[in-house]
Structures are given as structure tokens and as C-alpha cells.
Amino acid sequence: MKPWMKWTMAGVAVLAVLAVGGRALKARKAAAVAAAATPASAPLALELGSADVFVARTQPLTRTLTISGGLKAVTSAVVKAKVGSELKSLTVREGDTVKAGQVIGQLDTVEFEWRVKQAEQTALSARTQLDIAKRALDNNRALVAQGFISATALETAISTEAGAAASHQAAIAATELARKSRADAVLVAPISGLVAQRLAQPGERVAIDGKIVEIIDLSRIELEAAVAPEDVGAVQVGQTAQLAVDGLSEPASAKVVRINPSTQTGTRAVMVYLALQPQPGLRQGLFARGNIELQRKNTLAAPLSAVRVDQARPYVLAVEAGKVAQRSVELGARGDASFDGRPEAAIELVSGAVEGATLLRGNTGAVRDGTPVKIAATVASPAAAASAAR
């Protein structure tokens, strides 16, 4: 092929490419002009349900203190052996009901019977010696009056009689002690209640002060709760609490009745005692947890999760005129309040929010100021519904 033909064909190809590029550029410009002339479509609104918003209202805000501990009977007793002997009988077992003064067992008394007899015979011998000493003293007094013996012999007779009288009194005391030991072999319930533990069995040798039976009175139950030193200052006698007790479906009501004046060794915690209202199912040793109501006030409150703190000042997101509006708030006391029938951790809104405002909960996540929103009619307040409709 001749050179001039090659150059001619190359020029034609370049012209064709330039023509196609020009047409594409004109098409893009026309599309841009058309897009600029078309009005922008409205952005999609964020749909919110009942779990995403709440209406701020003045309601009771309760400041509470979380506590926990074990239940314990106010009145309990342990029947111990007052004398060392073999346990002969025990008529009660765990769960049995006993009355104060009821005989519940018996220790072997053979040894004590013989001790009583021994003491009685010793006392009888001492009484005989006392009688002899008294007769000798009377005779010596008559002989001194007649001048047959000296005054020194009379003083000796007086001392002998006094010693015999003392020995007789000691023998009588020993007899009473022996009788008491025999009586102590009878085991008697000191209080009315239920047998909680049977700590010895018939046939066992029980030492002095050996534990035999534990009795508890379930008519009065207390919760022993350890409270940190920085929190105990707000606790006062008479404050109420609601407790969840293991094994009970319904919460138990309680009241602070005592505060220990000293701290616990090591932890420095202070023991607080709450009396529970009697109800079936309460048992010593059950674990309970709950909250003491320290303070209650009517105020404008919001769920703690609805207050956002990712900026310099805390704020809430309100729904105004169908859009999200960021409002800085001043916070007050913390506590518990009820929202939509459910108790939640809450905080007081001192300023920045108004009564009846629709606010976003924390579960909505990060929502920008000015975002359009649409609230379900079942949860929207009248003002918010009207704003969303516009």
C-alpha cells in the first residue's frame, strides 16, 4: 500500500473517534442540564416504633440503693447440754414444731442420781456433827458457869460448833448442785419455733455445752445486708425496700429496722438489718436482693440511656416538626422511674426538655440533628403526630 493511502486512512480513523467523543460529551451535558432542571426528591424519613421513643412526663423518681444478703430469723436458740452425759432420747427432728418449755429430750441420769445420794448422805453426816457440836457447846457453857472448865475451852467449843455449821451448809449446797445437775439432764425448748438442725443422736456422749438441737422462729425474718461506707450515710431507719427472694415468685416488702454502729473487720462495710413482712415461703438462709428506697420526688425524668454524653454537654434528641432536634439538658438526681409500664434506670431533666416532649431512646443509635422521622400513630404524642403529618 502506498504511504499516502496509509496516512489518509489514519486521518479518517482519528476524525471518527473525535466525532464519537463529541457526541458522548454532548449527551453528558444534556443529562446534567436535565438533572439540574428536575426538582430534588425528598429524603426518606426514619421510621420510629414504640420501643424507640417515649414522652417526657413529670413522674415519681425514686433514688435507690441496691442491697443483697441472706435471710436470718430474729429469734433462734441452740439447745446445749448443760452437763456431760450420754444422750438417752431425743423426740424431735428437723421441721418439727416445738413450744417454749416443751421437753424434747433426756440425758442419762444414772450418774447424777448417785451424786445426789452421795451429797444427801454427806449433808446428813454434817448435820449429825453439827448436832454433836451444839450439845458439846451447851455442856461447856454450863461447866464454865460452875467453874469446872476454863473460858479457853468454851471458845474452842464455840469454834467447833461454827465449823460444823459451815460444813453442814456446804453439804446442803453440794446437794442442791447435784440435784440441779440431775434436773439439767432434761432437755427443754427455750423458745417456740421449728427445729432447724438435729446435731446429736441418741447414744452419743455429749460434752458440756455440746450442741444438740437448733430452733428458729420464722415469725420474724430479717435481711442482713452489707452496705459500703460511702452509701450507708443515706440509709435511715424506717426506709422501705422491695426484695426478690430466691424461690419466691412475688417480691417481699421490707423495712430498715436497725443499722450496726460499727463496721465489719476487713471490708469496713456496715451491716443494715431489714425486717421482712411475714409471708409463706420465707426461710432462714435464703438469698435476697433488692433496692432500698432512699428518696422519692416528682420531677421530669428520662431513661438514663436516652441521655447522650458523646459531646461536651449532655443532650437529648427530641422530635419537633417531624424532624430530630438536638437539645442540651441539665441533669439532676438519678434513680428509678416507670416508662411505658416498665421500671428503668432514670435521671432528672432539670432544664432543656419540656413536659410532653417526644424524645428518642438510646436504642435508636446515632441520629443526626435535622433527620426527618416518622412516628407510629400508636406511640406519637398529639403534637408529634401533627408535626410528622406536616
Three-state SS letters, the chain: CCHHHHHHHHHHHHHHHHHHHHHHHHHHHHHHHHHHHCCCCCCCCEEECCCCEEECCEEEEEEEEEEEEEEEEEEEEEEECCCCEEEEEECCCCCCEECCCCEEEEECCHHHHHHHHHHHHHHHHHHHHHHHHHHHHHHHHHHHHHCCCCHHHHHHHHHHHHHHHHHHHHHHHHHHHHHHHHHHCEEECCCCEEEEEECCCCCCEECCCCEEEEEEEEEEEEEEEEECHHHHCCCCCCCEEEEEECCCCCCEEEEEEEEEEEECCCCCCEEEEEEECCCCCCCCCCEEEEEEEEEEEEEEEEEHHHCECCCCCCEEEEEECCEEEEEECEEEEEEEEEECCEEEEEEEEEECCCCCCEEECHHHCCCCCCCEEEECCCCCCHHHHHHHHC
* pLDDT above 80: residue 364: yes
**pLDDT over threshold 90, residue 188:** yes
**Average pLDDT of the residues in 236-247:** 92
The amino acid present at 137, given as its one-letter code, is: L
Q: Which residue has the higher pLDDT, 14 or 339?
A: 339
pLDDT for the residue 381? 46
Q: What is the pLDDT of residue 385?
A: 41
Q: Is the pLDDT of residue 113 over 90?
A: yes
Backbone φ/ψ region at 247: left (φ over 0), alpha (ψ -120 to 50), beta: left
Cell numbers placing 193: 419455733
In the chain, domain spans: 48-62+296-389, 67-73+217-295, 84-198
More confident residue, 33 or 376: 376
- pLDDT for residue 1 is more than 60: no
Residue 43 has pLDDT above 90, yes or no: no
Q: What is the pLDDT of residue 38?
A: 46
Instruction: Report pTM.
Output: 0.64
The mean pLDDT of the chain is: 85
pLDDT of 383 above 70: no
Q: What is the rounded average pLDDT of the residues 256-261?
A: 95
The least confident of 177-191, 249-263, 359-373 is 359-373
Q: What gap in Å lies between CA 7 and CA 1, rounded to an integer? A: 11
The span from the CA of 186 to the CA of 179, in Å, is 12
At the fourth CATH level, the homologous superfamily of domain 67-73+217-295 is: Efflux pump adaptor protein, beta barrel domain (2.40.30.170)
How are strands ordered across the β-sheet holding 358-360?
A: 53-55, 358-360, 315-320, 323-328
Worst-scoring range by mean pLDDT, 142-151, 203-212, 269-278, 283-292?
Answer: 142-151
* Per-residue model confidence (pLDDT) at position 40: 47
Out of 25-29, 189-193, 338-342, 348-352, which region has the weakest mean confidence (pLDDT)?
25-29
Sign of CA dihedral 296, 231, 227, 263: negative
Residue 277: partners with Cβ closer than 8 Å, 6 or more residues away: 252, 253, 254
Whole-angstrom distance, CA of residue 178 vs CA of residue 185: 11
Of 133-147, 170-184, 188-202, give the lowest mean pLDDT range.
133-147
Structure confidence at residue 387 (pLDDT): 43
Q: Tell me what the mean pLDDT of segment 21-43 comes to.
A: 58
Give the rounded percent of residues in the chain with a pLDDT score beyond 90: 46
Q: What is the pLDDT of residue 154?
A: 78
The mean-pLDDT minimum among 54-63, 127-136, 195-204, 214-223 falls in: 54-63
Using the predicted structure, report yes or no on whether residue 34 has a pLDDT greater than 60.
no
Higher pLDDT, 46 or 291: 291
Domain 48-62+296-389 belongs in CATH node 2.40.420.20: yes
Backbone angles phi, psi at 68, to 5 degrees: -160, 160
Report the length, in residues, of the chain: 390
What is the per-residue pLDDT for 388?
40
For the segment 343-351, the average pLDDT, to the nearest whole number, is 87
Would you say 78 and 213 are in contact if contact means Cβ atoms under 8 Å apart?
yes
Instruction: Give me the residue label for grid cell 442491697.
Output: 67
At 240 the pLDDT is 92
Task: State the pLDDT at residue 390.
Answer: 41
Query: In this structure, are residues 41 and 348 in contact, taking their beta carbons and an 8 Å threshold?
Result: no
Name the least confident of 53-62, 224-233, 265-274, 371-380. Answer: 371-380
Distance, CA of 187 to chain centre: 36
Q: Considering only CA atoms, which of 319, 321, 349 is closest in space to residue 333?
A: 349
Structural contact between residues 65 and 296, judged by C-beta atoms closer than 8 angstroms? no
Distance linking the first and last C-alpha atoms of the chain: 77
Indicate if the pLDDT at residue 39 is higher than 90.
no
CA angle 335, 337, 341 (to 5 degrees): 155
Spatial distance between the Cα atoms of 200 and 108, rounded to a whole number of angstroms: 14
Cα distance between residue 374 and residue 44, in whole Å: 10
For residues 280 and 286, give the distance between their C-alpha atoms in angstroms, rounded to a whole number.
13
The yes-or-no verdict on residue 129 having pLDDT over 60 is: yes
Q: How many CA atoms lie within 13 A of 165 on its CB side?
A: 9
Report d(CA 58, CA 346) in Å as an integer: 12
